[in-house]
Structure 1
Amino acid sequence: MCRGLAALPASCLERAKEFKTRLGILLHKPDFGYKLSRSTKQRFSIEEVLGWKESLDHLLRSKSGVAAFHGFLKTEFSEENLDFWLACEDYKKTRSKAKLAAKANRIFEDFVQNEAPREVNLDHETREATRRNLTVVATSACFEEAQAKTYTLMEKDSYPRFLKSAYYRDLTEQATSHRTGNNVHT
């Protein structure tokens, strides 16, 4: 009889999660090379693309920067942190108390709870603090700590990878060629 996931040691759960992620990558992404598709290609100015290097905050304030960063993260199957951060930003703008509670529950179920479909990488204390925040009454600050931790993770991990990636270099080349009038085929 299965004892349930809670009875397993944390190291087993971490290995199982890693295995699940790797298996998902193999099942959904037969070609590991990246290429910008014609449908995801947008025209960016070189100033805009180079401006994204200033900081993650600068990138996230740009609608096209968010779209480009999201496109890159999708190639790595790691867009859940950005999706969570964006959901929290949207959540903070919600004024209706009824909508606030419904959105809070949806965000928690999608991203924060253990084994969530798009679970973000949070430590146990942050996950529990977020859960407790939601048991009282949903406020615009319910996800502050979890969102801050996710931001830090993106800032230290996925954002530097984005800036060093062939994906970002390709966007820079496209913006440069657009400025000079040359067409670069990808």
Structure 2
Amino acid sequence: MTTTPEPLKGVPRIEGDTPPTFRGDHNALADWVRDHTGESVATAAALPTADNWIGRTIRVRAENTTWVFMGSALGWRPDLIARLAQPRSNTGVANATPVFLTGSVSGTTGAGGTLNHTFRTPFPNGCSWVGWTRTDGNAGYSPHLQGDPTRTGFSTFWPNSGNTKVGLDYFAIGW
């Protein structure tokens, strides 16, 4: 079988007027699929620079994540959806499943400007990230995460806002 790369994805094609050899042609195609499915490389630096197509995915073992070829102008980029769905590498939990929580916090900060929040339902193992949008309508300083979030909650620090009524809606990611 004579093959040439298909212009968009490198799939082998039978060219010319040669009658097909079903077993040989099938095996050649099967070999190509085997070699191009579930591809992986050791590091992002080892991603191929040629013969790529938009949407090609390759697993980068050092990062334990999938990268996607976005075209010649953008090159390779981490697959953000796949990355979000993976636990952080430092979770210490094998094959941890991500857990997402949302909720609201409102209350009066302490004299030092701290407001603590306990999740309605604790994360099974831990929390790796919390983001929020203010809902209190107060002009002033934006809150900051105080310390690391835990499996049971998080603390916010509101600069120059001691004994002030505050509120926010949050989104938390854990495992």
> Which category of TM-score, normalised to the shorter sequence, fits these structures?
under 0.3
Greater helix share, structure number: 1
Q: What is the TM-score with the length of structure 1 in the denominator?
A: 0.22
Greater strand share, structure number: 2
Q: What is the TM-score with the length of structure 2 in the denominator?
A: 0.23
Whichever of the two has the greater Rg, that structure is: 2
- Give the structure, 1 or 2, with the largest relative contact order (CA under 8 Å, sep 6 or more): 1
